[in-house]
Structure 1
Amino acid sequence: MPNPEKEKLHVAMFPWLATGHITPFLHLSNELAKRGYKVSFLLSQKAKNLVQNQNLYPDLVNFHVLQVPHVEGLPPETENASDIPIFLINLFSLAFEKMSDLVEAVLSDLKPDVVFFDNAFWINDFAKKIGFKTVCYNVVSAASIALAFVPARNVQKGRNLTEEELRKPPRGYPSSSVVLRKDEAKSLAFISFEFGGMSVYERIISALKGCDAIAIRTSKELEGEFCDYISRQFQKPVFLSGPVLPEQDQTPLESKWKEWLGGFEKGSVVFCAFGSQVILEKKQFQELVLGFELTGLPFLIALKPPLGTNSIEEALPEGFEKRVEGRGVVYGGWVQQPQILSHPSVGCFVNHCGFGSMWESLRSGCQIVVVPHLGDQILNSRLLSDHLKVALEVERGENGWFSKESLSGAIKSVMDGESEVGSLLKRNHSKWKAVLGSPEYMTKYMEDFIQHLYEL
């Protein structure tokens, strides 16, 4: 337990400006503020507008709004990576790095004790000058960091790794782990990509090597072996915050969804969401919705319109809406994912297995079907499907695409209460849900986490 006689730490947060990063940083801020710690949170105006209603302690968690510089090629007033296509992320990274002088000035004024960051590797350069400790707080899985971003990977400047090299785990990678299959290695190719004079690998390695401590939003029960490996690789402490799941949001579910879901039997509806950045190609989008149609089950799909289209409606297969009328909805806007998952009628969650959705699915009472798209999502999926055996991953063809039959088959398999697969997943999931639902579980992680901060 932290010594109550000690002076309370002042913590600053500067996450990568994407919803999937900002939100867990804010959840951690709320946990610290709940225990009386002051938090200065640096973010853009659009990001503030997005998350300020999730700030549970506005008297202790103070937002400091920063201007994101414009970089040619980005849409005007781009302030959040989640608002742009993934192929523009490198340009946004350059805009993000142009914020360094502004961030340094704000931190010089605030004089925090500890600064949490993830992608902003250059914050390490300010630490000694201003007088704070740095913690590189990772909101992706430890398995992903251990596979892609460790010194043993040894990605040399100016050379792209081959798919075979990417697929081969780095030296010392935990032997009991699950790794990428042959057709998935290309999802790690981005680590070699160079822009602004540095590769993605060099940026992340610099962040991890330069900080005083590495922190990861995970638990030893899930990923202990990966965390130990990362600690050995960087020869520095790795603090685990636990999943930092937010308190259950008491905001009621929107009436239109509450009424619609209320028309179906308990546990019968399949809900699908792929996060803020996954945008499918039109053909794959159509294959997905046809897969849901094939299940014969009621469903709610919340996805962004596919590439090259302006709306969900124009992308739907011909005759689809009439065929599923009354039992299926495909929606292109934002929905209240936690509230939908907790609705009694929802019995299955089909998701991309981003780290946030992974934790939300574990916390829910729904069966889990995973359809990963990127490297870290694939490894998260393996954690749930191969390691914990709480989820079923949809099979893909050699081209990396899934078929409507493989998607439909996976959903029907987990939703069949008498199937061996569905029963096994449900039993294992129930055990983890009980663990994560225990107040003592999160409290112990946060107490240890804060103690480690004092030890810095």
Structure 2
Amino acid sequence: MHIVVLPLPLQGHVNICLAIAKMLVSQGCSFTFVLTQDLAGNVAQHQGIHFATVASHGSCFADSFDHSSCLSIMKSIRPGFEELLQKLLLSSEAGVSCIMADSYVTWSREVAAQFGVPRYVLYVSNAHTLAIALHVPSLVSQGLVHGGDPGILIDCIPGVLPLRARDLPQSVRLMPEFNKEMVKDMHKAAGAIFNTVEGWESNPLKTIKETLPVYPVGPSLLAPGFVESPSKEKPGVWAEDRSCLAWLDTLPPSSVLYVSFGSLATMSIDQMRELAEGLEASGQPFLWVVRSNIANSSVDDVLPQDFGERTRDRGLIIRWAPQLEVLAHAAVGGFLTHCGWNSIVENLCKACVPMLCWPHLGEQRLNARLLVDEWKAGIELVQDDDGWVKKEAVAKAVKELMRGEVGECLRDNALRLKETACLAWQEGGSSCRYLQSLIQDIKNLSTGVKAID
């Protein structure tokens, strides 16, 4: 089978789509993986995967990133993608068995229909997020999405834990028309593929099944035979600083707080300084990832005066980390995270350290609710009504996470989540079954796909 993958050109999205492609390569599938030109040079070749580039008007990795501009860039690649798909249908001996498109690429539905190719949606977040998206019309009719009390409790979404209105994903709260288009897109898909585990999210998956088939084939990191790409082969714009691993080697087990806000989150300079002072006041060793664009300023301008000197014996600041290796390091005992789905899954697969939740974008508030309220594998930083996090709150939460009984409880719960994921990839486990079902369903749908003259 030959499958064409079309991800949103953002680091987290590309990583998950590529991981799922690698899983299917191990099952005998071949892939054409579509990238924008700004990403093409950052991804090494992989057996069974051919990387094809298409032109785009701009880059989603720009410092001034926002969802609307990225979606506009995504629309600009449509002509190039259509041309590529036509060429593949005409020239490939294997044809095109199906398209696997990122859920954010809503126009892929029209292209798939135009060429008569089956289309699956790659949903890079969790099943809770999609279950909410499918229920948005009901939320809107009840006045729960726009203009209401952000603290009001929403407990009417089938399969989803109770949430405050402010915890709804940004695509629901800020981009209602896009969410409407995405839901319309979902109804026309052959199925939705997730990097999650049925045992983690059985209730929302049941809800989604009422609309379309689901394939929770995660976590990819635990799949039999899956090999994580070397650091130099990962897509992205920041070089990993591997010197941090040697630094971690010098510290006691479970003593270091790893701090990272992913590839997109930003915060003000004042908030960065408040965080720095909170980390200093906690007295805990820390490894802090400070991207060059997290505050659109240099690191020296962002941090309090002499902060580096005062914390040099127990703190290290780097631009980008080899996150999987950091999380798996024996010295790391906690993770202050933005609650991106990829980061959560990586921690549960590799480390199972307790998480300190500071959500910023997208569905991260929802993810924090999962970690704190349902899975009890994390605690949330206390924020003011305007979202401000005080240094006192940081110091208190770090101490609770790293030194108290609460942290041990959270670690035990994270370990149970990992055990559930490991069982899913054993023979007869849920992820194994869904993966085989996906392969068979693609075979059944893909017979007779031809190019359009």
Which residue is equivalent to 1:266? 253
User: 2: CA distance between counterparts of 1:183 and 1:120?
Assistant: 25
Identity of aligned residues (%): 23
Does the 8 A contact of 1:149 with 1:205 survive in 2? Answer: yes
- Report if the CA contact (8 A) 1:183-1:398 is conserved: no
Partner of 1:247: 227
3-state DSSP of counterpart to 1:16: coil
Distance 1:167 1:45, change over 3 A: farther
Give the SS at the match of 2:325.
helix
Query: 1:227 maps to what in 2?
Result: 205
Please name the residue that 1:29 is paired with.
21
- Higher mean alpha-carbon deviation, 31-40 vs 215-224, is at 215-224
Are 2:381 and 1:371 equivalent residues in the alignment? no
Count of paired positions:
419
- Aligned position for 1:201: 179
Given that residues 242 and 446 in structure 1 are in contact (C-alpha distance below 8 angstroms), is that contact kept between their aligned partners in structure 2? no
1:173–1:167 CA distance, 2 compared to 1 (3 A): farther
1:65 maps to 2:43: no
The offset of 1:166, in angstroms, is 10
Query: Where does structure 2 lack aligned partners over 5 or more consecutive residues?
Result: 90-95, 233-239, 446-453
Cross-structure match for 2:235? none
Q: Return closer, same or farther for 1:131/1:443 CA change in 2, 3 Å cut-off.
A: same
Q: From the superposition, tell whether residues 167 and 130 of structure 1 become closer, same or farther in structure 2 (CA, over 3 Å).
A: farther
Q: Is 116-125 or 141-150 further displaced after alignment? A: 141-150
Q: Distance in 2 between matches of 1:258 and 1:237?
A: 42
Aligned residue among 290, 300, 303 for 1:316: 303
- The residue type equivalent to 2:415 in the other structure is S
What are the within-5 Å matches in structure 2 for residues 16-415 of structure 1? 16-50=8-42, 52-53=43-44, 56-57=46-47, 60-69=48-57, 78-79=58-59, 81-87=60-66, 89-111=67-89, 112-117=96-101, 118-150=103-135, 152-153=137-138, 161-164=146-149, 169=154, 172-174=157-159, 177-179=161-163, 181=164, 184=167, 187=170, 188-192=172-176, 199-232=177-210, 235-245=211-221, 247-248=227-228, 256-305=243-292, 309-331=296-318, 333-365=319-351, 366-415=353-402
Per-residue CA distance 1:177-222 (angstroms, 9 max, x = gap): 131x355569552123xxxxxx222331232123222222222111
Q: Larger RCO: Structure 1 or Structure 2 (Cα < 8 Å, ≥ 6 residues apart)?
A: 2
Cα deviation for residue 254 of structure 1 reads: 5.6
Q: Does 1:12 align with 2:4?
A: yes
Cα distance in 2 for partners of 1:122, 1:162 equals: 30
TM-score by length of 1: 0.84
> Aligned partner of 1:85: which letter?
S
Q: Which amino acid aligns with 1:20?
A: G
Distance 1:308 1:269, change over 3 A: closer
Q: 2:415 aligns with which of 423, 430, 443?
A: 430
1:255, 1:135 → 2: CA distance?
A: 37
The TM-score, its normalising length taken from structure 2, stands at 0.84
Q: CA deviation at 1:379?
A: 1.1
CA distance in 1 between partners of 2:159 and 2:418 (Å): 26
Is residue 135–residue 157 contact of structure 2 (8 Å, CA) maintained in 1? no
Which runs of no fewer than 5 residues in structure 1 stay unpaired?
A: 1-8, 70-77, 193-198
**For residue 147 of structure 1, what is the amino acid of its counterpart?**
I
CA contact (8 A) 1:85 1:277 kept: no
The amino acid across from 1:402 in the alignment is V
| Separation of aligned partners in 2, 1:14 and 1:250 | 22
CA distance in 2, matches of 1:163, 1:225: 27
For structure 1, which segment, 289-298 or 446-455, has the greater mean C-alpha deviation from structure 2 after superposition?
A: 446-455
User: Cα deviation per residue 1:234-276 (whole Å; 9 max; x = unaligned)?
Assistant: x322222222225355669965223211221111111111110
**Kept after mapping to 1: 8 A contact 2:197/2:421:** no
